[in-house]
A and B are shown apart, each in its own frame.
Chain A
């Protein structure tokens, strides 16, 4: 990225608004660190989903497009890592990056023709992509072991040092998700990020300003796919087991619930949403059976009554200058 021409939207200097979420996330991680393994697992899922949603936010929030099939790239990442590490004995970290490259290439190949579509067609085409990969993970049993799924995926590690306990893994997940948000924040405030925002505002206006729309949409799509792939791989390593259902329609709906609850198009929204949506069902144990119903109900209610989500509330604390910029 051409960082030297980057001009920050935010006023310079460290402000409490940008520090507060980091502190909150670290505090939450600390709470998890002294809690039972069960809570650590729940938090781990939350941060994995935070990575997934931060990527999705690039394409949907910043660029104003829609992908209903982002789970496809998570499946590539998850199955790629599982197969490479279990059957071929690869280093988890190497497999993570290799599958990210694979997902990126897949995103270019798929996105190049697909992203010309708009509206319903784009939504249905991306939905179809997710379903195609889901069906393949079920049917191509020679590669994916079908409904049986892949078990015995080793935990994350590098050069002989593996993260054996869940708590060690949680720390790594927190760090990775914070890095993910950090990269997203940098990109968003760059020339590239402003180009995406201009596409979200009005495609014709963006074109008039000289923004290469097809190229920027594709890049945003690829970035989202890279995040999704990384999240998929991390899930496989964290749980040690994956099956087609992990990367099914539920993942799509769950990530949308997180994205819209936290606030689509905002920097911290995806992570806030991911944490809340992951923890809420755990606080109401009776809800376990009804989990998907609760997700969909929450999602529908937010879509109707608060389409800007919780992060939209933070506007109340900001100066008007930023608010104007956000609307643009």
Chain B
């Protein structure tokens, strides 16, 4: 089991230089339930930060706190701070809608809109009142998401007519069309087959040249393959309920080869999941 002894220290705060986003989460509640506590993680520019951990450890919750997606859940409550270029996105003056326009998201299940491939990609551009050459930006986004060649002859077809892997890359194209500088990816490959997964992973590595990426994955090998920095989350059951928290964060190689925390070591060795 992954019970955490009281003595186990919270990981030291990593360096915050060059961080585009900095999450200083103290407590996240769903109603009365404390879902996540004490998780500090900076997202460094042009890096992929992987979130790993057993199920129920709050990695998705933390990711979804980074663009205020959790605000869709009425009982959600966030304590702490998430800064984006120094500005706290949980400040009362900040509209979550605005946050989501700058911080794009790709979800676990491919979720293209029930409209044409072209309209899917153009959605964010139109939403933001883009006045330039729409065709050009749509093509660029689809190329960026490595699916231009597959869909260029059927841009008028429904986005839902594509295969699962293509749909997911379409969703990535939709997310990057407006060129947000942070991209949050919540287990983007969990619904995909191994070949599609590989393409999306290659894509992530290409995308980090332009974007800062946070990636939640249930797959340790995936984190090893693509993440520059890895944050390991654990579950604390000492208070009688399951509360997730960040155990340790560091360069991926270090987390997987010589982690500081015993719990991390057990997890990356596959002793529990």
Same complex for A and B? Answer no
User: A residues engaging B (CB < 8 A)?
Assistant: none
Residues of B within 8 A of A (CB): none
